[in-house]
C-alpha cells in the first residue's frame, strides 16, 4: 500500500514514449512522424499515411506500389468469417459485430500470435489494415439483409470500401471521385491521435502480450463510447433530435445549463483547446461534398446553424469548445448515404492503423513492462467478518 500520484482521467500522465504522433493542443498542431496533418490530408492518400505511421517514413513510389499490392492482396477474409455474422440479430449494432469478428481473427492466423517477431507483427498490421474495411462492410450488408460484396483489387482503398458498402449483385455501384476522396480524407484524419482512450486501451492490452487481434478488439470496444469515437453517431442523433434550425438556441441553452447533463456532441476536445486542425480540413471537405451533391437536408442546415452559434457564443469561446473532427465527418458520412450506426465503425477502421502502429512500436521498445496502474484505496479496512447467520 501507499499513496500514489492521483491523476484521474490521466490529464497529466505520460504513459509511454512514442515517435508516431505529435500534438500541441494549445496551438492546434497535429503531426504524424513530423508531417503536418493538413499537408498529409491534402496531398497524400490514406495508404501513404498508413505507411508513414507504421514504418516512420513516407514511401517512395516503388515502396508505395509494393505496400498497396500487399494491402490489396489481404483484403479478403476467410469464408468461415461469413458464418460469424449469422449468429447476430440483424438489428445488432455493427460495432458489436466488428468488435467480435476482429477478435475472432486471432483464431485464423496462428503465425501472427508470435508477437516477438517484428516481421510477423508487420504482417498482422497488413492483415488488419486490409481486412477492416471488408469486415466493416460485411457488418453493414448483414444488417440490411443484402449479400456480402467481395473486395475489388482494381479500386483504391476508399473506392473499394464504398463498392463493398453499396454494390448489389443486380447493379454495379459507380464510385464518385469526390466521394471517394472525401472518404479517403475521413480515413486519413482519423488514422492516429496519440494516447487517446482507445489507443491507450490497445497498448495496455498489448502490454500483457495479448495477440494483435485481441488488442484491436479492445480498441474497438473502447472507441465505441459517445465521449470518444461514438461522438459522430451521437452528433447526428443530436441533430435529428434538434430537428429544425428554430430549435438550435434551445439546445445551446441546455448545453450551457450547469444543471443539465446535456452536451453538444461534436464539440470540445480533451487535448485541443484551440480549433482541431483535423476539423479545419474536414470542414472544407464537408462543404465540397455538400456542394457537389447539391444536398438539401434540413439536418445539415441545423448543423451549419449550430456551428455558427457555437463559434460566436461566449460560453463556447471561453471554454474553448470548438467543433471537432467528428462534427464534420458525421455530416459528410450522412451526405454520402452511410447510415448513422456505421459512423463509429468507419472511425474504428481508420484508427486501426494507428492502434497497430502503437502496438508495434511498444513491443519493439526495450524494457517494455506490463501496464499496471495503482490506485489510492478509499474503502474500509480491517473489518471483522460475520458469518451469514449472524448478519
Q: How far apart are CA 327 and CA 296, in angstroms?
A: 18
CA distance readout (Å), 259 to 103, 207, 263, 267, 364? 40, 40, 11, 19, 48
**CB of 351: closest distance to ligand CMC in angstroms?**
9
Q: Mark residues 179-218: x for contact with ligand CMC by CB under 6 A, - for none.
A: --------------x--x----------------------
Q: Mark residues 263-302: x for contact with ligand CMC by CB under 6 A, - for none.
A: xxxxxxxx--------------------------------
Spell out the residues 6+ positions from residue 253 whose beta carbon is closer than 8 angstroms to its own: none
Cβ neighbour number for residue 205 with a 10 Å cutoff: 23
User: In the complex with ligand CMC, which residue's Cβ is closer, 168 or 311?
Assistant: 311
Here the cell at position 323 is 467543433
Using rule CB under 6 A, residue 228 touches ligand CMC: yes
Spell out the residues 6+ positions from residue 211 whose beta carbon is closer than 8 angstroms to its own: 106, 112, 113, 115
Distance of CA 70 to the CA centre of its chain: 23
| Residues touching ligand CMC, count (CB under 6 A) | 19
User: In the complex with ligand CMC, which residue's Cβ is closer, 42 or 319?
Assistant: 319
CB 236 within 8 A of CB 389: no
Using rule CB under 6 A, residue 332 touches ligand CMC: no
Q: How far apart are CA 138 and CA 136, in angstroms?
A: 5
User: In the complex with ligand CMC, which residue's Cβ is closer, 227 or 311?
Assistant: 227
Query: For ligand CMC, which stretch binds (CB under 6 A), given 51-59, 65-73, 133-141, 223-231?
Result: 223-231
Using rule CB under 6 A, residue 59 touches ligand CMC: no
User: In the complex with ligand CMC, which residue's Cβ is closer, 162 or 321?
Assistant: 321
Give first-to-last CA distance, the chain, whole Å: 29
Using rule CB under 6 A, residue 42 touches ligand CMC: no
Q: How far apart are CA 121 and CA 361, in angstroms?
A: 10
Using rule CB under 6 A, residue 21 touches ligand CMC: no
**CB of 16: closest distance to ligand CMC in angstroms?**
18
Cell 472511425, residue located: 347
User: In the complex with ligand CMC, which residue's Cβ is closer, 67 or 316?
Assistant: 316
Where along the sequence are the contacts to ligand CMC (CB under 6 A)?
193, 196, 227-229, 231, 255, 263-270, 319, 321, 324, 326
Amino acid at each position: 500500500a501507499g499513496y500514489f500520484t492521483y491523476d484521474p482521467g490521466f490529464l497529466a500522465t505520460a504513459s509511454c514514449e512514442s515517435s508516431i504522433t505529435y500534438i500541441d493542443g494549445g496551438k492546434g498542431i497535429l503531426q504524424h512522424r513530423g508531417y503536418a496533418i493538413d499537408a498529409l490530408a491534402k496531398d497524400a492518400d490514406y495508404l501513404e499515411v498508413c505507411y508513414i505511421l507504421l514504418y516512420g517514413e513516407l514511401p517512395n513510389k516503388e515502396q508505395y506500389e509494393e505496400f498497396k499490392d500487399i494491402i490489396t492482396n489481404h483484403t479478403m477474409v476467410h469464408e468461415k468469417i461469413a458464418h460469424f455474422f449469422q449468429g447476430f440479430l440483424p438489428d445488432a449494432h455493427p460495432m458489436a459485430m466488428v468488435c467480435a469478428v476482429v477478435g475472432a481473427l486471432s483464431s485464423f492466423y496462428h503465425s501472427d500470435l508470435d508477437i516477438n517477431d517484428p516481421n510477423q507483427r508487420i504482417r498482422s498490421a497488413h492483415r488488419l489494415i486490409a481486412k477492416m474495411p471488408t469486415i466493416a462492410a460485411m457488418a453493414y450488408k448483414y444488417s440490411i439483409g443484402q449479400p456480402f460484396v467481395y473486395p475489388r483489387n482494381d479500386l483504391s482503398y476508399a473506392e473499394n470500401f464504398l463498392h463493398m458498402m453499396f454494390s448489389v449483385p443486380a447493379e454495379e455501384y459507380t464510385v464518385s471521385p469526390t466521394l471517394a476522396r472525401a472518404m479517403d480524407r475521413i480515413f486519413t484524419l482519423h488514422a492516429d491521435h496519440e494516447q487517446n482512450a482507445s489507443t491507450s486501451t490497445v497498448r495496455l492490452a498489448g502490454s500483457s502480450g495479448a495477440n494483435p487481434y485481441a488488442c484491436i478488439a479492445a480498441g474497438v470496444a473502447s472507441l465505441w463510447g459517445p465521449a470518444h469515437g461514438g461522438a459522430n453517431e451521437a452528433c447526428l442523433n443530436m441533430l435529428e433530435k434538434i430537428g429544425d434550425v428554430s430549435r438550435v438556441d434551445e439546445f445551446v441553452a441546455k448545453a450551457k445549463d450547469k444543471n443539465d447533463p446535456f452536451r453538444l456532441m461534436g464539440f470540445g476536445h480533451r487535448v485541443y483547446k484551440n480549433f482541431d486542425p483535423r476539423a479545419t480540413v474536414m470542414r472544407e471537405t464537408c462543404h465540397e461534398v455538400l456542394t457537389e451533391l447539391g444536398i438539401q437536408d434540413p439536418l445539415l442546415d441545423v448543423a451549419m446553424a449550430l456551428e455558427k452559434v457555437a463559434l460566436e457564443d461566449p460560453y463556447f469561446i471561453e471554454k474553448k469548445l470548438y467543433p471537432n473532427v467528428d462534427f464534420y465527418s458525421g455530416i459528410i458520412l450522412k451526405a454520402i448515404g452511410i447510415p448513422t450506426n456505421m459512423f463509429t465503425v468507419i472511425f474504428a477502421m481508420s484508427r486501426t492503423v494507428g492502434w497497430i502502429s502503437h502496438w508495434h512500436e511498444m513491443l519493439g521498445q526495450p524494457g517494455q513492462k506490463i501496464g499496471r496502474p495503482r490506485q489510492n484505496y478509499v474503502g474500509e479496512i480491517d473489518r471483522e467478518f460475520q458469518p451469514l447467520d449472524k448478519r
